[in-house]
Structure 1
């Protein structure tokens, strides 16, 4: 994955966190992510720093959602793209 793509993914995860907090009024505790002292706008940091931040933030978001009972989504797996279209 290119650095630019990592930056976009990093920003997306930050937006997901902020959207959840604004929508539900709960603060998502991301102490591990915050401790890394890196944000998507820190473009001077290397790829590995952003990758670590993405993994940490993603893990903390999923853990928080699981603790709230919001991480279990009902979905149907499809084996081919044709089945996806037919299922819609």
Structure 2
């Protein structure tokens, strides 16, 4: 079964869809750059479109997720690594 298999309830899909929207907005806020979401935009669906069917929301989640990951994947890593390995909590810090 995939993450978005048939057993997933519509309400759960709506929550996941909204979460992806929040992830996109958060990334755009902290980086001051827009994530291009042309494919997602052509679907004409958002998490508030509760009248749309599960299949439409599944597709929107997968497309939006792919566009977010593709955009972030093209950017340099946002983690820096400490040369001092004496304190494990300081091994990786977010810039």
**Structure 1 and Structure 2 fold alike (TM over 0.5):** yes
Q: Return the structure number with greater relative CO, CA threshold 8 A, min gap 6.
A: 1
Aligned-partner Cα distance in 2 for 1:71–1:22: 15
Paired positions, count: 72
Tell me which residue corresponds to 2:35: 28
Tell me the TM-score normalised to structure 2 length. 0.72
Structure 1 unpaired stretches of 5+: 73-88
User: Deviations 1:40-74 (Å, cap 9, x if unpaired)?
Assistant: 000000000000000000000000001113489xx
Tell me the TM-score normalised to structure 1 length. 0.78
Larger radius of gyration: 2
**Per residue, is there more helix in 1 or in 2?**
1
Structure 2 unpaired stretches of 5+: 1-7, 80-95
